[in-house]
Amino acid sequence: MKRWHSLIAPALLVLAACSSSATPSPAATTAAPTTAPAAGDFDLDQWDSVLAAARGQTVNWYVWGGSDSINRFIDTFYGPALQERYGITLNRVPVADTVDAVNQVLSEKQAGTDPGAVDLIWINGENFYTLKQADLLFPAWAQKLPNSRYVNWDNPALNLDFGHPVDNYESPWSSAQLQLVYDSARLEAAELPRSYTTLLEWACAHPGRFTYIAPGPGGFLGTRFVKGALYDLSGGSAAWLTFDQATWDTWSPALWAYLNELKPCLWRGGETYPQDEAELRSLLANQEVDFSLTNDITGAGTAIENGLLPATARAFVFDQNMIGDFNYVAIPANAPHKAAALVLADLLLEPEFQAAQIVPANGFGLGYAIDVNRVTDEAAVAALLAAATQLGEAATPASDLARALVGDTAAEYHTLVEQDWRVYVLQGE
Amino acid sequence: MTRLSQIGRWALYLLLAAPLALFAVYAFSTRWFFPQLLPAEWTSATLARVLGDGRVISALRDSVAMAGGVSLLAMVIGYPAARVLGLRQFRGRNAAWLVLFLPTVVPPLAVGMGLNILFLQLGLAGTLAGVMLAHLVPALPYVVFTLAGAFARYDENYEFQALVLGASPARTFWSVSLRLLAPSLVVAGLFAFLISWSQYLLTLLIGSGRIITLPVLLFSAAAGGNPATTAALALIFLAPPLVIIAATARQLNQRPGDIREQL
Amino acid sequence: MRRRLSLSPWLSLAPALALVVVLVGASLAYGVAQSLGLMAVIGQNTVSLDAYRSLLSGHGPAGREFWSALGFSLWVSVTATIVSAALALLLAVGLASRPGGGAADTLALNWNLAVPHLVWAVALLLFLAQSGLLARLAAAGGLIELPAEFPVLVRDRYGLGLILHYVSKETPFLALIVLAMLRSQPTGYAQVAANLGANRWQRLRYVTLPFVMPGLLAGALLVFAFVFSAYEVPAVLGVGYPRMLSVLALRFFTDPDLRARADGMAVSLILTAIVLAVAAASLKRGGAK
């Protein structure tokens, strides 16, 4: 049975190649390149029809462009593979924040533009929720991808995105967990704070040597850091999975009190905060602060590879309340090249690429979305396991990560944290 | 005043050379952190990667094409307007002047945000043509007023002379008018080119993320925190304007108009 | 004969006027509509002054920052304009008095003009940050040990970084304008004044300044309008709070929440109105050309 499965992919490829050379695919006969093939040009249950429709298309993938190395990873790994295997051209569109892609889709809806500009978005959390609520996403496709069989859809961390059901609207790409980074040349591992309480003590014993990313667009790591403090103060993450205004009203004052107590001990006296991970990482590298925040499963590994941190940088976590989750790709309802987007989403889950994304030298640095136990091909399993051992010294030990792992809050809290942080902490009312 | 102006001049030259030197050093550095005065580790990999990046090359191409196109269009549209504004007196001249002056003060932010939806509806959003149209808005006034200033000092008699001597209007235009106005034309074209070249916000708002120009790449690199890449991109972004200024230095330096007004 | 080479003035003006009227007019019209809640995608077809109300009263996420952003923007743009105008005057007078035409100086000024603002801002950041090149020089010279000891010059709460940037970029621009005027100035006047016993400062104040004032004022207006509404530079050199009005406007215009979009558009229109008011006032004072 399993061997039969492994024959499907090459067979489909052959079929796709034959069908596209024999008859021009519907996409190719359309006159203007911007006119999209109608959704009916492929049948999701027949993957070969998807491949046929996708051949010759360009997929406009809107991806957060703030990391050079991730951009390079995408261009190096997925670009050529899409072209050689499926005849699809990859157009990676960098956005400063995922919300820009969301806005693009919303603006197109306002203007009545169909087809639009966006084929695929790297997305999760409240951005996903915004589009899903507004009924702007292509429905019912994620579990129809051939490679979705590798995904453990029963895992609540995966089928719930910020507390909202994924419902087949998005397909996973990778996983990430909040960690802190320090320079082992300047600090000993024994000195490191391991909880929000000890962090406060450390920061005030070393004024100006700590800061965190401002929660806001582009600063989701800062939002996660703040949420971790919220979990810590309120005794756990369970209460935050569903939205309840009363819970927020009860605990947010304590959160702002903690952050305001921390504020004068921060870098620049807490008057200003780095806007994103890159800025904070640069502060760490240039010895302005002693800690940085990251999401990479490789810890500091990818940054070291890219010359952004000294080779002595290391990652670690607190003992508890370090938020981790999956991130996904979603297809807008007015996407012009849905077939190509589907093929790309499927490619992301391909075991060889999942194995590549975790290796620091390749530049991506986020974790697996697939469940290694579900992969049947022996070579692929070996590659996945081998990659997991290559994380290197700069990564946080997997057991620490697992012990501290908690899920993210319900989507509604995200905006509340961002907005109220500005009012109660940044502006200091 | 001479001593002060000496200092001022050297400050000016330093001001100009320093960023270039800084970018050059950063572009070849890696892991250059405080308090290192010079990079301990050098590499040409970053520059090689940036120069070989298809996206950078196409951004360069698009930037040059658009800036050149905007410059040409602004000149073609602006020349006749500047001519009548500079040479003629007529009723409503002040009103016309004011209207053409508007885009220099109306913020590109407001123009871009307002045109965002309109262009989406017209299908112009995300196209080179749409973005170029948007760039024309801030560029046109500078062209018109530079040329109008030139026309104000212009002597039409030269054209009449040529016509009297039997030259066709077209020949007169090419051989007489354009020649006489050459320095100002160069300045105007340069202004338009530079304005379009450095547009970020309008390209962002109208381009829908599909039009990637060098400023868009530079902005996202600057936010991305890899100073070597940012420096490399900055150098590439700087090169064409500096080359053009160097090439047109003679025209820029000429006293306004070859025909001086008799005072 | 005169008619042969010229078309009716309005025909010649038509393309340029059409472009400006249509594009600027449409953008402002759409902008006003959206700020009044008229362009919302579903349901909202009624004119609503909510956006303006919340901004001016200081309520709501955008409103809470509106007044501080307005004050900050005015502070930065007025200071930058006045300082660069003053420096430009001195620079231009100093350069104009040099014998030999000063071709190299003009070239240098033009080069500065050609450096895009974004590039200049990045360069300033690399130079003046607390861990930037200047700080490293200071550390090498033994003046400081930690970055925290270096003064905060960019990404600071008082807009110093922004003002430094704009002054260093706009002074050459204004200097070029003044230089152009000085070079077309009849040289006789300064001579006469000198012969009558005026010293350098008196010559500057009573002869040169009135002569270049119209041009300098016009240039200063352009500078003010530009600095007040620019986005890229504050986005690179500014801080989270206080923000420039333009940064505030874009932040809310690109918010998925449609009400926030109306707020962002309203901020941008108020910004436009202020610039237009300043322009009108200074044009009236200076007298249109």
Residue C202, Cα to own-chain centre: how many angstroms?
Answer: 30
| Cβ-based neighbour number of residue C256 at 10 Å | 19
Q: Please indicate, yes or no, if residue C32 is contained in any of the structural domains.
A: no
Q: Where are the alpha helices (DSSP H) in chain C?
A: 2-5, 9-35, 50-57, 60-96, 103-114, 117-128, 133-140, 160-183, 188-195, 200-203, 209-229, 232-237, 245-253, 258-286
Q: What is the CATH number of the domain that holds C63?
A: 1.10.3720.10
Residue reference for tokens 């998005």: A170
Cross-chain CB nearest to B99 (options C20, C31, C250): C20
A394/B148 Cα distance (integer angstroms): 64
- Residue A32, classified by CB atoms within 10 Å of its CB into exposed (0-12), middle (13-18) or buried (19+), is exposed
**pLDDT greater at residue A278 or residue B1:** A278
Which of A90-104, A347-361, B68-82, C3-17 is predicted with the least confidence, judged by mean pLDDT? C3-17
E-strand ranges in chain B read: 29-30, 41-42
Nearest CA among A66, A56, A75 for reference residue A275: A66
- Mutate: best of A62, A67, A68, partner B, most B CBs <10 A: A68
CA geometry: angle at C254 spanning C249 and C259, to 5°? 80
Chain C residues within 8 A of B160 when measuring between CB atoms: 1, 5
To probe the interface with B, which of A106, A304, A306, A309 has the most B CB atoms within 10 Å?
Answer: A306
Question: Residue C55 in contact with residue C62, Cβ under 8 Å?
Answer: yes
Residue A408 pLDDT more than 60? yes
Q: Pick the closest to residue C168 from C232, C233, C107 (CA basis).
A: C233
Q: Do B242 and C184 count as a contact with CB atoms less than 8 A apart?
A: no
pLDDT-flagged residues of chain B (< 50): 255-263
The reply to whether C5 falls in a domain is no
**A386: enclosing H helix or E strand:** helix A378-389
Assigned domain for C102 exists = yes
Shortest distance between the Cα of A6 and any Cα of chain B, in A, equals 35
Q: Go through the domains of chain B in sequence order and give each one's CATH number.
A: 55-262 (1.10.3720.10)
Question: At a CB cut-off of 8 Å and minimum separation 6, what does A148 contact?
Answer: A142, A171, A346, A349
Q: Within a domain: residue C20?
A: no
3-class secondary structure for C154-211? CCCCCCHHHHHHHHHHHHHHHHHHHHHHHHCCCCHHHHHHHHCCCCHHHHHHHHHHHH
Task: Give the neighbours of chain C: at least 3 Cβ pairs within 8 Å.
Answer: A, B
* pLDDT value at C6 more than 60: no
d(CA C74, CA C63): 17
Q: Which residue has the higher pLDDT, C18 or A391?
A: C18
B126 to chain A: closest CA residue? A117
User: Is residue C9 one of the residues assigned to a domain?
Assistant: no
Chain C partners of B140 at a C-beta cutoff of 8 Å? Answer: 16, 19-20
DSSP state, residue A410: -
C-beta atoms of C256 and A275 within 8 A: no
Mutation choice for B interface testing from C146, C211, C232 by most B CBs within 10 A:
C232
Q: pLDDT tens-digit profile of C87-99?
A: 999 888 877 777 6
E strand or H helix at A58:
strand A58-64
The Cα–Cα gap between A161 and A325 comes to: 8
List the single best residue of C72, C146, C239 to mutate versus A (max A Cβ within 10 A).
Answer: C239
Question: How close is the nearest chain C Cα to the Cα of A277, in Å?
Answer: 15
The first and second tokens of residue B249, run together, are: 């230095």
SS3 label, residue A406:
strand
Token representation of residue B122: 């017209």
What SS3 state is found at B96?
A: helix
Question: Which residues span the domain enclosing C107?
Answer: 59-288
- Whether A17 has a pLDDT exceeding 50, the answer reads no
Backbone angles phi, psi at A41, to 5 degrees: -75, -10
The verdict on B30 touching A (C-beta cutoff 8 Å) is: yes
- pTM (two decimals): 0.85
A184-222 per-position pLDDT tens digit: 999 999 999 999 999 999 999 999 999 999 998 878 899
Please indicate, yes or no, if residue C212 is contained in any of the structural domains: yes
Q: How far off is chain A from B117, nearest CA to CA, in Å? A: 6
Q: pLDDT grade, residue A2 (50/70/90)?
A: very low
Separation CA A83–CA A56 (nearest Å): 9
What residues contact A393, with CB distance under 8 A and at least 6 apart? A314
pLDDT tens digits, B158-203 = 888 888 998 888 888 888 888 888 888 988 999 899 999 999 999 9
| CB contact A216 to C (< 8 Å) | yes
pLDDT at C122: 93
Residue B102: both structure tokens together: 């508007």
CA distance B241 to chain C (A): 6
Q: Which residues of C touch B249 (CB under 8 A)?
A: 103, 107, 110
Note the pLDDT of residue C101: 56
Domain tally for chain C?
Answer: 1
Is C121 domain-assigned?
yes
In the chain, the amino acid numbered A44 is L
pLDDT at A4: 38
* B209–A308 CB contact, under 8 Å: no
- At A37-88, the pLDDT tens digits run 444 478 888 999 999 999 999 999 999 887 778 888 999 999 999 999 999 9
Q: Quick check: is C46 in a domain?
A: no
Interval A175-181 mean pLDDT: 94
